[in-house]
Chains A and B, each alone.
Chain A
Amino acid sequence: MNIPVRHATAAAKLAIVDCDIHPAFRKPSDLYPFMAARWREHMTTYGEHLRQGLSGQLQWPRMMAAGLRVDTFPEDGPPGSDLELMRRQHLDANGVEYGMLMQLSKGGMEERNLEFAAALSHAINEWQLETFVKPEPRLRAGIVVPQEDAAFAVKEIEHRAADRSFAQIIISPRSSDPLGHRRYWPIFEAAERCNLPIGLHVQGFSGGHASTSSGWPTYYMEEHYAATTGMQNTVTSLVFEGVFERFPKLKVVLIEGGFAWAPALCWRMDKHWERMRSETPHVTRPPSEYIREHVWFTTQPIEEPENPQHLAEVIEWIGWDRLMFSTDYPHWDFDHPQHTFKFAMTDAQKSKVFRDNARALYNLP
């Protein structure tokens, strides 16, 4: 069983960087001030046409109150939409020095109408600035772009890149083709050129694919687990398509996809590379080396082995410099900074995971 809280080691008083905070709009029309009249009209009349069968709803039931922490609902609007509550309940209470915003819906990543997707992307980026980052300098926006329209994505990235309010580029890890495909390379090229990491957060929408590799699951518990296997598919594609060989300075963050699987995946990929390397001669080094150099992992929802020390051993394989703390506030599977790690960490390890790795990666002052 999991180890209860009394064995927890506290990250007492350490200022932290939270690499996964979900903002929300009170209502979709909050985006209207940032959209041209043509797209306001489109949104009102037609709404979204998403990369999934059942437009406008998630494909599976969600835990708790629509997937949200029950105590995070403000008086008006959904959790994450009230900056004052976010400050009081999370940023102040948990010593958050910087929080990375992860806006997933209505940013165009899942929209099939690419012109509308571009309008949504631009609007959601403006909205993040006006609603959250300008009033709260601890927060950093992500440049949300539709990965299926690389040409627009590059323009939006270049438009935002000089603004330090934005710390990374956000695209879906469940792209229409596996993400290493060349149609997405202009985005990676722009990311490398602008020195911005690519943030890949597990998606409520699975890009028109079944959410597990063996089909649609029956239960939320099955789907939640599939977030980790989906991330493995994505990172495998990035490695074998040669993305890290072509873009040697590219940095990728896998957000909310777990990390305990990474050593085993690397061992297996290295083994296959030793035998079948000639199929992909552009992959000139063992796959694990690319992952070690280019990939960062966020912690939440952290794996909780019966013997907490086993997790420390897994992190040794991944590297203490590649793991970044995250809470997922205000979602139901939130990890609390004082209870996330149930084994003793050195001060140096704590500083890296809770703060310094993210500060270095995201170039935070």
Chain B
Amino acid sequence: MKRQVVARAGDVPPGQCKLVTVAGREIGVFNIGGQYFALANRCPHEGGPLCQGRIGPLVTSDGPGTYRLDRNREFLRCPWHGWEFDIRTGQSWCDPKSTRARQFQVTVEPGEKLVKGPYVAETFPVSVEEEYVVVEV
């Protein structure tokens, strides 16, 4: 297990994704209303660069003629084939049981704690005054 500081908390604006590399893996870090999530930048369908896809809402319907937009900026659409994934869980919308994007643990830690260790910010300068996004792989 490896924990790495990947960004200042403010570097991932709400509704956006920041692509980072941790231990050689490309990972997308997402901010949904102040909660952070991390998904592998690799679509479980055919390996496309998932986190470069569009972030948007879920479109659903209770029947022909009725449409609803839900959970704006909580769904990720793969840039290759358009498979939709729930950013909070990594689950595919069409096949939630068996198709899931790889998820990683993310925490937001105060710089003060990070400076003390035991986790070393290898690639990222940390100051005690700010908060940081930490990804665990």
A: residues with CB less than 8 A from B are 1-2, 4-6, 8, 63-64, 69-71, 332-336, 338-339
Contact = CB atoms under 8 A, between A and B. Distances in A.
A4 B44 contact: yes
A334 B53 CA distance: 15
B81 A70 contact: no
B46 A339 contact: yes
Contacts of A1: 94-95, 98-99
Contacts of A6: 44
Interface in B29-71: 43-49, 52-54
A69 B94 contact: no
Given A5-B45, A333-B81, 9 more contacts: A1-B94, A1-B99, A4-B98, A4-B99, A5-B43, A63-B82, A70-B52, A71-B52, A336-B46
A71 B82 CA distance: 12
Contact of A5 (B44, B54, B94): B44
A332 B80 contact: yes
Contacts of B95: 1-2, 4
Contacts of B110: none
Contacts of A4: 44-45, 95, 98-99
B15 interface: no
A72 to B, nearest CB: 9
A71 B53 CA distance: 8
Nearest to B46: A339
A335 B45 CA distance: 11
Nearest to A7: B98
Contacts of A63: 82
Contacts of B53: 70
Contacts of B54: 70
Nearest to B42: A5
A339 B47 contact: yes
Nearest to A6: B44
Nearest to B43: A5
Contacts of B81: 332-334
Ranked nearest first, the 6 interchain pairs of A and B with the lowest CB-CB distance are: A70-B79, A339-B46, A1-B95, A4-B99, A336-B46, A71-B79
Nearest to A342: B46
B47 A338 contact: yes
A220 B99 CA distance: 25
B45 A69 contact: no
B100 to A, nearest CB: 8
Contacts of A70: 52-54, 79-80
Contacts of A2: 45, 95, 99
Contacts of A332: 80-82
B94 A336 contact: no
Contact of A335 (B43, B46, B52, B99): B46
13 contacts: A1-B95, A1-B99, A2-B99, A4-B44, A5-B43, A5-B45, A6-B44, A71-B48, A71-B80, A332-B82, A334-B80, A336-B46, A336-B48
A6 B100 CA distance: 11
B18 to A, nearest CB: 17
Contacts of A338: 47
Contacts of B79: 64, 69-71
A25 to B, nearest CB: 23
A336 B99 CA distance: 18
Contacts of B44: 4-6
A4 B43 CA distance: 9
A5 B46 contact: yes
Nearest to A333: B81
B98 to A, nearest CB: 6
A277 B5 CA distance: 75
A1 B54 CA distance: 23
